Amino acid sequence: MKIAILPGDGIGPEIMNEAVKVLNALGEPFELETAQVGGAGYAAHGHPLPDGTLKLAKEADAVLFGAVGDYQYDKLERALRPEQAILGLRRELGLFANLRPAILYPELAGASTLKPEVVSGLDILIIRELTGDIYFGKPRGVRECPDGPFAGQREGFDTMRYAEGEIRRIAHVAFQAARKRSRRVTSVDKANVLETFQFWRDIVTEVHQEYQDVELEHMYVDNAAMQLVRAPKKFDVIVTGNMFGDILSDAAAMLTGSIGMLPSASLDANNKGLYEPSHGSAPDIAGKGMANPLATILSSAMMLKFTFGRLEQADRIENAVKRVLARGLRTPDIYEAGTIKVGTEEMGNAVVAALQ
């Protein structure tokens, strides 16, 4: 059970420390190896995804990822910016299935900007395709506009695309995940405008034939964005493409008001995965010991479940997190009057102590 530990930038190293403590406390024979990624990778080796880091990530059975990005790297050319690391890892490792739960812990209902009755008990699983779509499609670039009223001017362009097999495999992931939940899948597309997503809709409908016990609904992305605000609890599993998933999964995360709590998994075809918190590197609070380590700790629980099949250990971690919340411990991002404000380390230690 070899795990690549990639702390990254900003609060990444702090929150990763706590997740590593929790892993070490489980008494499993993990082999952990750390490497630089993102801005830290660039600073140490001149590239956000250094060769050594990519090699480690490929060799390992799973990757635990902190967060990347910091102000000082904003001005670099795009190919060297921190976020290229995460795009590179997804592509090189074939991590096509991104699982992002949006769960509202009852204790944290007050943190949401939505009315409690709209979000309390929220439990959505967003499944975002992660290696196709307009993220990697070619050709792309800046060229001379070939025709129309702007012919001869410069234009920026990209290619959106999904092959049949890419849609099939993510649809299977969604239907299978729904079987472990409420058996409802909403496939989000823009079939009324885009050829890519009319094709998406057709293929998802075909794959659904194999899952007649699961309910399938198709929804346009603009409507999905509205329904997430209007009645988010109506959703069970949402499956969508890379671009729409990027937008909707962040909107869904923010509905909870506690994005510092939300883990994510990015899986390949063999359950190898990269696990990371849904939040970013928050450089404004880096080094202050106030970041919330729970999303990273819960990401390690997802790792135990999906990659290593250690369901009891995953449960141990999830239950420990519930216990520290029930005890009232809160990092500043989720603090409310009447609870106990703690720092990153204290929170990590409390989870370790609550592991039992």
81 binds, among its own copies, ligand IPM, none (CB under 5 to 8 A by kind): its own copies
* Of residues 40-79, those binding its own copies (CB under 8 A): 78
Nearest by Cα to 174 from 118, 235, 99: 99
DSSP 130: -
Q: Which is nearer to ligand IPM, 246 or 345 (CB)?
A: 246
Pairing of strands 97-103, 263-267: antiparallel
Known catalytic residues are 135, 190, 222, 246, 250
In the complex, what is the shortest distance from the CB of residue 131 to its own copies, in angstroms, rounded to a whole number?
9
Pairing of strands 97-103, 123-129: antiparallel
Residue with the two structure tokens 């490792």 = 93
- Sign for the pseudo-dihedral over CA of 248, 252, 257, 262: negative
- CA pair distance 58, 44, nearest whole angstrom: 20
* Of residues 63-92, those binding ligand IPM (CB under 6 A): 83, 86-87
**Residue 264 counted as an annotated binding residue:** no
Contacting residues for 46 by C-beta, under 8 A, at least 6 apart:
none
| Among 61, 251, 268, 271, contact with its own copies (rule: CB under 8 A) | 251
- CA pair distance 249, 246, nearest whole angstrom: 6
* Of residues 212-231, those binding its own copies (CB under 8 A): 221-223, 225-226, 228-231
- CA pair distance 120, 256, nearest whole angstrom: 9
Mask for 226-265, x = binds ligand IPM (CB under 6 A) = --------------------x-------------------
**Residue 327 counted as an annotated binding residue:** no
Which pair of structure tokens corresponds to residue 194? 């885009």
- CA pair distance 116, 113, nearest whole angstrom: 9
| Among 24, 159, 176, 192, contact with ligand IPM (rule: CB under 6 A) | 192
Give contact residues for its own copies (rule: CB under 8 A). 78, 81, 83, 87, 113-115, 118, 134-135, 137, 140-142, 145, 148-150, 153-166, 190, 192-200, 221-223, 225-226, 228-231, 243-244, 246-251, 253-255, 257, 259
Give contact residues for ligand IPM (rule: CB under 6 A). 83, 86-87, 192-193, 222, 246
